[in-house]
Structure 1
């Protein structure tokens, strides 16, 4: 019997080093294990280029570099060239080029039974619907972020005709896909009324690879100038994109307030706000904030173990449009969280019933900072409570959000659509 072919169409995939890539890497491998033929249509690495990973998965140019091919554990991967251009015009040209070439590459594939893709961008759903209709393939659209809400709430999109156009496109994608998945109850309730047939919308959360992310004991070889042994210091860490989705003012406030106490902060990663953060650290002489470059994935369990508490301070303008996947990885490593977010957001909705996170929901910056400061004073004398909180999160992740359990839900959905 001929295998059914699944096309994964994603803006990021291995060897790119970002959370969406890791998520879809695991989904691709699960689909392959379940007996599907899998092919991936993506971009060249441009979010987090990890040279060691590119060496393991080299890209071979085709047709003078119009696109590239690679092999991911026996899965064929097609890469359309993309770069992080500083010029907005060049970014737009690259974006359009990716869409056009992806459309024709998708059409050129034979025997495709199903296409699945994550947002963003919203337009990827439109391309897949067009390819799916022409090839008789089913289409699944995975809502990781809600567009255009994400752009309008952030204030990046204010031109009303453009907003209306994107709203129409969003509803077209939802209602012409064969199934839509979203990752959180808040997301589900936000978009469900935008469907003509609500049965198309399915709630399937993201997940964590509990074989990679688990509690570890730090070896002596781990310590270096960026991460020295400091057993008497309360260590707080953020590892991820240093961007606009995070609120950096509370961090700067805490660093100033606890400048002369045994509290230090680590911020690990890259992003558009990294320069601003470094400038503020230098301006206010905040030696207790350590800004460290992006670290490879295989080092993350030890990095998570190094900190006593992991902080995520969500930007008030954007905290309702995203769910940081790092929440799962931190919990899987049996570490507690300190989260600042509104009380009607995906991250709050997920963590509020659990005993693994301190949640700060004050609206104004002053109230938020004061609440964080008071909590930190308390934690300096109750450090042992953090270990117990971490264990609570670990047990919950093992039970509900392991890679094996969640990827099986996608397999079930695909089998249902392909009957």
Structure 2
């Protein structure tokens, strides 16, 4: 199923590459072509259009592809890997600028030929979130009243290592006031639900995904939020978007991701690190926060202030606008 799904995604990527090229040719007045990866193949379309239109080419790297796909075992065909890595290097070398959303990506792209790299993180929009909201509606609708709610919000996929969170929940069975909530969807969700039932976990709740504009209400219902990825070297380079939303919502972060995002959380004083892949370490951090709700709230507000100062989308949009103006001057 995984292989079929990946083949389907590759087919979709190539289809989009062709259709976007045709559409791009029809656009008459162009000042700049902005390509984004993944999908990596779309970057080739953007480069070709930029050359044909004789305008600058900005290549945005949101994830290190194919490195991430190789690391999690999704991409295994050697021919396809070689082709993807060649295209990746080609695009870095031929882009007028490469834009990354994490400082952890800079060494990777420069080491493969990028000449000029711009860092523009995704950040968060603080105005979307009210740290003072206690999330009564979300709690009531999911029977979470009088609970210390530890929320994971996001994809339920291979990379997210959510089995570790289930095992941590099992270790917290002696703390009935602690409820672990999984909000979102993905390929692994059904398996996680079945495993939780097999383990007899009553301190775990699965919630359907909500639109982005309702995420603030869900985060308001949390006392702490989990960020977790598999313990792979590649993931030490990433800035997961959810962490900035957690911070903007004023909620402390249980961070089971090493690397650059751990450094942000440490600098902000807005959470506690748990060794990735270690359920006991994760459970220990959750206990620590549940034991001291006042400390948890202080950490949450530290995160809110740090996002406002360093990762506000309005501030980052100004930086992006300046880059675009420079490139098209």
* TM-score for the superposition, normalised by structure 1: 0.73
Q: Where in structure 2 are the equivalents of 1:59-70 lying within 5 Å?
A: none
Give yes or no for contact 1:355–1:392 (8 Å, CA) kept in 2. yes
Question: Alignment partner for residue 149 of structure 1, among 60, 64, 67?
Answer: 67
Q: Where in structure 2 are the equivalents of 1:86-105 lying within 5 Å?
A: 90-105=8-23
Q: Which residue is equivalent to 2:220?
A: 305
**Cα 1:216/1:301, change in 2 over 3 Å:** farther
Q: Which residue is equivalent to 1:39?
A: none
**Cα 1:382/1:402, change in 2 over 3 Å:** same
Q: Which residue is equivalent to 1:56?
A: none
Q: CA RMSD in A?
A: 2.1
Shift of 1:341: 2.0
Alpha-carbon separation, structure 1, partners of 2:225 and 2:202: 19
Residue-by-residue CA offset, 1:275-300 (whole Å, 9 max, x unaligned): 11111111112121111111122322
Which structure 2 residue ranges, 5 or more long, are not aligned? none
Question: Alignment partner for residue 397 of structure 1, among 303, 307, 310?
Answer: 307
Give yes or no for contact 1:125–1:173 (8 Å, CA) kept in 2. yes
**Cα 1:377/1:167, change in 2 over 3 Å:** same
Question: Alignment partner for residue 174 of structure 1, among 54, 76, 92?
Answer: 92
**Cα 1:411/1:338, change in 2 over 3 Å:** same
Give yes or no for contact 2:227–2:242 (8 Å, CA) kept in 1. no
Residue-by-residue CA offset, 1:202-229 (whole Å, 9 max, x unaligned): 1111121222133242475554432x35
Alpha-carbon separation, structure 1, partners of 2:80 and 2:144: 52
Residues 1:240 and 2:154 are matched in the alignment: yes
* TM-score for the superposition, normalised by structure 2: 0.92
Which structure 1 residue ranges, 5 or more long, are not aligned? 1-85
Residues 1:360 and 2:274 are matched in the alignment: yes
Normalized per residue, which structure has more strand?
1
Give yes or no for contact 1:145–1:321 (8 Å, CA) kept in 2. no
Give yes or no for contact 2:99–2:117 (8 Å, CA) kept in 1. yes
Give yes or no for contact 1:144–1:322 (8 Å, CA) kept in 2. no
Alpha-carbon separation, structure 1, partners of 2:135 and 2:287: 30
SS at match of 2:58: strand
Give yes or no for contact 2:163–2:192 (8 Å, CA) kept in 1. no
